[in-house]
Chains A and B, each alone.
Chain A
Amino acid sequence: MRRMAKTAMVGILGLIAGMAQAGGEIVVGQQLEPPHMDPTSAAAGAIDEVLYSNVFEGLTRFGPDGSVNPGLAESWEISDDGLVYTFRLQGGVSFHDGTAMDAGDVKFTLDRARDETSQNAQKALFEGISQVDVVDDLTVKVSLSAPNGNLLFNLAWGDAVIVAPESIGEIKQNPIGTGAFRFDDWVQGDQITLVRNEDYWGTPAKLDKATFKFISDPTAAFAAMMAEDVDVFGGYPAPENLPQFEADARFQVLVGSTEGETILAINNQVEPLNNVLVREAIAHAIDRQAIIDGAMFGLGTPIGTHFAPHHPDYVDLTGISQYDPDLAKTLLAQAGFPDGFKTTLKLPPPSYARRGGEIIAAQLRAVGIETEISTLEWAQWLEQVFRGKDFGLTIVSHTEPFDIGIYARPEYYFQYDNPDFQALNAALMQETDPAARSDLMVKMQRMISEDYVNGYLFQLATPTVANAKLRGLWKDAPTQATDLTGVYWEE
């Protein structure tokens, strides 16, 4: 009510002043609260969901379709050997504390991220950067030890946003960035408020103020939306309520795609799962659509490899592992397990894993594979499964964008060790020609699919429930972000 009154007042004032100032405030609901506000030293997606692009910006930035666009770097040149990137920075950019953003800040950011004592959760993004040089105030030269076709993409991540040495000490409680919104207040456990940055260098934000409210309970999220306490809920946690919101004229529902490949991860080094026939049998025992319908209320796109379906280079390989329980039984018999076998299925907390796990266990049982299900908290899962590699099967969504490179790491938790794949990945890292890159990516997708490394289930969808009058929201989530810079209230 207060918000409406204020919106109306701002509208009237705008009319009087004779300019089309949209203004207004917005309350954004999200499930998880950031632990602190430094996107460059934690894995928590919740930090980026509040701050990415709103408060912090990188040299490049992700667009709503996942494309990589210029950010604080206005343009760049790549040397012919692909080893030197010269970035030309936007002029007249200042941090929210008033200090100027210049080449020194870029050097500071990149050096800090790749330092020995760095606490960057995605330090691998900066691997291969050998030196960063300040050419002049607005020009930075980044030198690589080997060509890296992913560099511009890597620099768009929330973990690579530009920070200043002056404000780094307090960044966890008081984030100082260059974005269209400035951090205002944080009531821990409850909400974070951002206000419009009036001195923004680019197109200014339309909203005056944005409040992020943290509501972890799905029932509470439903109540908060229904009572219109919250204007938009990103990653809405109760998909079973979506039809109700769709039928209500007060709301709009956007179902978008994410970068989350949800897989039945298989430990490739333990008996009998190290046998490709066994893994192939598992792949054919799984009915993806039944999992999507049963565990996700129909939200999600089936995938046949570890690649996002909305990526231009995606190939649909679901046919390689189509649902065929009879074939699965035959393959098991061929592998020497006519009566099946028993393994563990360890499930982390998200509902895709807990609900999906029950369905997969039933599907596997139908072909003779018994699973012992155990449910784990994230901290336990990281320790037992991810670091300890003490598992047979697990279900997890890999939410990092373009992360097929994990299959080139034999020590990575599912332990796929294939020199051919590692060679392809190395070639991709070096390649900068788009056509050749595309060709390599298709080969990589096919190789892991044909090796049945993991059971490829579906691409995680993200439902957003919002007030019907809101415009400019992102439908898809190419990175974990709630970019509010283009959001406004329709008159």
Chain B
Amino acid sequence: MLRYVARRLLSLAMSLLVASAVIFLALEVVPGDPASYMLGMNAQEDTLAALREELGLNKGMVARYLGWLGGMVQGDFGISYTYRTPVSGMIADRLWISLPLAVYALILSTLIAFPAGIWAASRRGSWVDLGVMGTTQLGVAIPNFWFAILMVLIFSINLRWFSAGGFAGWDDGLLMGLKSLTLPAIALALPQASILTRVMRSALLDTLGEDFIRTARAKGLSRGQALRRHALRNAMIPVLTIIGLQFSFLLAGAIIIENIFFLPGLGQLVFKAISARDLIVVESVVMLLVFAVIVVNFTVDIAYAWVDPRLRGRR
């Protein structure tokens, strides 16, 4: 087990290094100069040169890459070109919104998907199953931004239950913060819940066809009892894998929803940084997301090996 973990750790470090090089090179070839973006159309050449010098853009590519990498190892992501504040602080501020939003959406999606998936699987072929399958089909098909706009129209403009967007902050208490994240979380959660429901249902149906379920039924358990006691646990592996993937997606993929609700999250930060050519911010956020995905995968790998000893010997 220890050797397995060590091997996985080494491959994690290699993945991160390769990712950092790819991210850096990819952004290096993007046309556009941060200094001329900031100083605009009337800037003079000497002014631009002075700004480039201050931002460290005059240094060679290799020197900038190594500087960035070296700083990151020590937890220093550098200074944003446009905002001129430490990138790590900016990311931390945004994480205080993006992370709770992702967790909130994931909880909502799980709370919807588990009962719905189990219900549909236990009544396969019934009108319940058809209804759940139909609704989730719709949930997957409807774009979440459209759904978000619809909710704003109903709940913010007409009913005035929620504000149309923005983030109240955590200073006024947990409830105020959660309230401003509720509509965005629902908008994010619904498509995810639909996918998860369908995965849950099909995973359960697969397991329900297995021999050990027949044995359990033969022992005298009802269909529902067999499903809850034996099938559910075995169906969890694909479901957990999907949840892991969804979490990474929710953390990074909320850009459009953040724009609609003007939430200052990570997605919005990257979006603005790309158009401003604030490359150091883009690089650092993308790197952080890569790190998150790799760590989640690493955890999942370890968990698999823990659950299933056969995986430990695999090269």
Contacts and interface: CB of A to CB of B under 8 A. Distances in A.
B259 A216 contact: yes
Which of A213, A382, A384 is the most central at the interface, judged by chain B CB atoms within 10 Å of its CB? Answer: A382
Contacts of A224: 164-166, 262
Contact of B157 (A43, A119, A223, A384): A223
A209 interface: no
Given A188-B90, A224-B262, A229-B165, A379 B32 contact: yes
Contact of B42 (A43, A117, A226): A43
A43 B31 contact: no
Nearest to B167: A190
A118 B262 contact: no
Contacts of B153: 223
B274 to A, nearest CB: 8
B302 interface: no
A378 B275 contact: yes
Contact of A216 (B39, B262, B276): B262
Interface string A152-195: 00000000000000000000110000000000000111110000
Interface residues of A, number: 46
Contacts of A229: 156, 163-166
B134 interface: no
Contacts of A121: 38-40, 42-43, 47
A118 to B, nearest CB: 6
Interface in B20-48: 31-34, 36-44, 46-47
Contacts of A219: 149, 260
Contacts of A386: 36, 41
Interface string A42-66: 1110000000000000000000000
Interface in B264-314: 264-265, 268-269, 272, 275-277
A35 interface: yes
A149 to B, nearest CB: 19
Interface string A397-410: 01010000000000
Nearest to A159: B42
B50 A117 contact: yes
Contacts of B47: 118-121, 123
Contact of B83 (A35, A43, A187): A35
A227 B37 contact: no
B169 A187 contact: yes
Nearest to A214: B262
A36 interface: yes
Given A229-B163, A380-B31, A119 B156 contact: no
A309 to B, nearest CB: 22
A385 to B, nearest CB: 10
A366 to B, nearest CB: 31
Interface in B237-264: 259-264
A33 B272 contact: yes
B199 interface: no
Nearest to A32: B272
B187 to A, nearest CB: 13
Contacts of B37: 378-379, 382
Contacts of B206: none
Given A190-B262, A215-B165, A383 B32 contact: yes
Nearest to A377: B275
A227 B277 CA distance: 34
A379 B276 contact: yes
B40 A189 contact: no
B152 A223 contact: yes
Nearest 9 pairs between A and B by C-beta? Answer: A43-B40, A189-B264, A379-B32, A35-B82, A223-B164, A227-B164, A190-B264, A121-B39, A379-B277
Interface of B: 31-34, 36-44, 46-47, 50-51, 54, 82-85, 90, 93-94, 149, 152-153, 156-157, 160, 163-167, 169, 259-265, 268-269, 272, 275-277
6 contacts: A36-B82, A119-B47, A224-B165, A227-B163, A349-B275, A400-B42
Given A35-B276, A189-B269, 12 more contacts: A36-B84, A116-B50, A123-B43, A123-B46, A123-B47, A172-B83, A173-B84, A213-B166, A220-B165, A220-B262, A227-B152, A382-B33
